[in-house]
Structure 1
């Protein structure tokens, strides 16, 4: 009898591994759908909350890797204990955004807090190194009631949230790079952790700088709302002013790349004689939004400010402002609201002929 019991105990782990492997194969399609659903949901949520991310990506753990982990961890119930068959990675720019994304996940998914972790909370004050936040989740009771998610009920997945610099460290020294893995000689190990400390310091520094930039933009917005515009024109103050102006006027800018206000425009304004937001406000033409909406699709901040300068004093642009742009056809009709047709033709020609050909050419 004892021999039979020992024999059953001896084969039980293999039976569980084989059963788990069979379950993984059966659920492969469902896990793939879960990965795609989680990526889409979290991507939509971070965008809706105005959080910039470097990437949202996902992966499925292959069967061999999953079985190896089951054996290494000696799982007794692999189907419930293996929580990262599906992994979703969210890479943000700043440490503050890690918390914001974490809060979104807690509000939007069913989180298994017992199996979730934050390496920062486990590290001692004198420790540096791998840092990341992990949440074990399922889609939640409400979502799995929907027909498209019914087959995903009970399936767990893992969110991993990192900053760009945390991700760089993990890729170099933790996840994939054999050169830095294992046990290094003490001098090299010390050098490695000094570098980790530098990255962590830089991460905190960028986060602090980002917060100060946000505070500055809020201050500019508050001052603008009170009509106090004796504020120097820079990329941040100009973007904040234009955003508030568009909101007040009911105008929508065309979205372009992340550099909404290039340094070139700040230089053009300086050469034009605009140094403060008050001076800029003084050159905004009457009925600008009304006429612009009739003759042009939504324009960029860059185009709008340049049109203000053209209408205010096109000759000054030709004589004072180093530029490499021309007036495109739709905007010629718009200028007819402010000038006779012959004058518009003269303005367009003057701006075209006075271009600084040493400057890389953008479009207006």
Structure 2
């Protein structure tokens, strides 16, 4: 395999492809799986890690194009196995590049940063392309030994860069040639907009992380004059009320937005106001253990003023039609059973035992 032979005709090239492509198919798959596992373990966010081996049609076309320039053989082709890492933001591209450098042997002479090639005054397709092999150490592992010396290409790009590449190259629109002036201008403006959006997403991500760190520090300093947000709620319960052992998974989805809306309607629109009510209530009442943040906050609002909760919040939010006996018993710390039964009956709320679920 991969032995240097005298190949002169298209048929010769086709035979070479048929006899040599199978290892590259396996190589592309194992590299993609290895990269995906490493990204997860390093907690680097990504959209996808697709992979492919070069098709025979693409292989033959590249050979034909290259032979018009210089003497070129199939052994010179470095992208018979291709892997693409699509990240969410630009900041993660650098993390991925460092990871690749630590995992594989990079052929720097064949690798390229398309952004650097564009320079300062041009916009367009941007991506980092690495040509690698598995390296001497990894090649000693049984699962990689069959791929020793074989090259593969890894492209690293953001989701927006990927979208641009799909439009410009992979979907066959071929917009890079000569266009009428008015279309060419729109084409360049679109490229610039995508690049600007990529940079802005990256800045926003950094600023959100900085905001989260700032709130965390302020919580430790007991300075809580912040608008109520999902980030603020998570930091408050993770840092100041960690002993309540509340589950915070719902804060990352639509349920978190529902909770923020309910707290605002109740009049708790800052971390400071919420914190004061939590401190006052947990000193007065015994809350349920191992609850969710959503459940805790609803219990909090009801124990503060159950009539206000049902008038201001419940009817305007997404009404819940049932609650467990633990919530009912929790509320009896403040309200009489007759009062609770009247309110729950009025709003068609069913109280169930755990065995009834």
TM-score between both structures, scaled by the size of structure 1:
0.78
SS in 2 for 1:13: coil
Tell whether the 8 Å contact from 1:291 to 1:337 is kept in structure 2 after alignment. yes
Structure 1 residue aligned with 2:352: none
Question: C-alpha separation between the residues in 1 aligned to 2:96 and 2:203?
Answer: 18
Within the candidate set 249, 270, 275, 1:276 is matched to: 270
Asked whether 1:230 is paired with 2:225, we answer: yes
- Asked whether 1:219 is paired with 2:219, we answer no
Q: Does 1:244 align with 2:242?
A: no
CA 1:291–1:252: 2 relative to 1, 3 Å: closer
Match of 1:360 in 2: none
| Aligned 8 A contact 1:239 1:261 in 2 | no
- Show CA shifts across 1:266-319 (max 9, x none): 2211111212213223344649999433xx6xx4x4344334334444333112
Query: Which residue of the other structure, out of 96, 99, 111, is the alignment partner of 2:94?
Result: 99
Q: Which residue of 2 aligns with 1:48?
A: 41
- Summarize deviations over 1:134-156 as a string: whole Å, max 9, x none: 12223343333332333232232
> Residue by residue, what CA displacement relative to the aligned partner does 1:165-203 show, whole Å, maximum 9, x if unpaired?
212221112332326353222332222112211221222
Instruction: State the Cα distance separating 1:344 from its structure 2 match.
Output: 7.7
What is the root-mean-square deviation of aligned Cα atoms in Å?
3.4
The aligned runs of 1:147-158 (5 Å cut-off) are 147-158=142-153
In the other structure, the counterpart of 1:117 is: 112
1:347 offset after TM fit, Å? 4.8
C-alpha distance in structure 1 between counterparts of 2:137 and 2:244, whole Å:
38
Contiguous gaps of at least 5 residues in structure 1:
1-10, 356-364
User: Match for residue 170 of structure 2?
Assistant: 175
Superposed counterparts of 1:1-364, under 5 Å: 12-14=7-9, 17-18=13-14, 20-25=16-21, 28=22, 30-74=23-67, 76-79=72-75, 81-178=76-173, 180-245=175-240, 248-249=242-243, 251=245, 253=247, 255=249, 258-259=252-253, 262-284=256-278, 286=282, 291-293=288-290, 299=292, 301-321=293-313, 322-326=316-320, 331-333=324-326, 336=329, 339=332, 347=340, 350=343, 353-354=346-347
Distance 1:148 1:249, change over 3 A: farther
SS in 2 for 1:208: helix
Verify the 8 A CA contact 1:61 1:85 in the aligned structure 2. Answer: yes
What is the TM-score of this pair, normalised by structure 2?
Answer: 0.79
Task: Give 1:61 shift.
Answer: 1.3
Q: Do the aligned residues in 1 keep the contact of 2:220 with 2:240 (CA within 8 Å)?
A: no
Distance in 2 (CA, whole Å) between partners of 1:83 and 1:271 is 61
What is the alpha-carbon distance in structure 1 between the residues aligned to residue 268 and residue 329 of structure 2?
25
CA 1:119 to 1:312, structure 2 compared with 1: closer, same or farther past 3 Å?
A: same
Summarize the Cα distance change of 1:282–1:61 in structure 2 as closer, same or farther, 3 Å threshold: same
Q: Residue 150 of structure 2 aligns to a residue in which SS?
A: coil
Shift of 1:89: 1.7
Checking the alignment, whether the CA contact within 8 Å between 1:220 and 1:237 is kept in structure 2 is yes
Structure 2 CA distance for aligned equivalents of residues 140 and 316 of structure 1: 67
The 1-side partners of 2:34 and 2:342 are apart by: 51
Asked if 1 retains the 8 angstrom alpha-carbon contact of 2:7 and 2:73, the reply is no
Q: Structure 1 residue 254: deviation in Å?
A: 6.1
* Structure 2: unaligned runs, 5 residues or longer: 1-5, 349-357
How many angstroms apart in 2 are the aligned matches of 1:196 and 1:127? 9
CA separation in 1, counterparts of 2:213 and 2:47?
Answer: 24
SS at match of 2:260: helix
Residues 305 and 111 of structure 1: is their aligned pair in 2 closer, same or farther, counting only changes over 3 Å? farther
Q: 1:158 to 1:240 in 2, by over 3 A?
A: farther
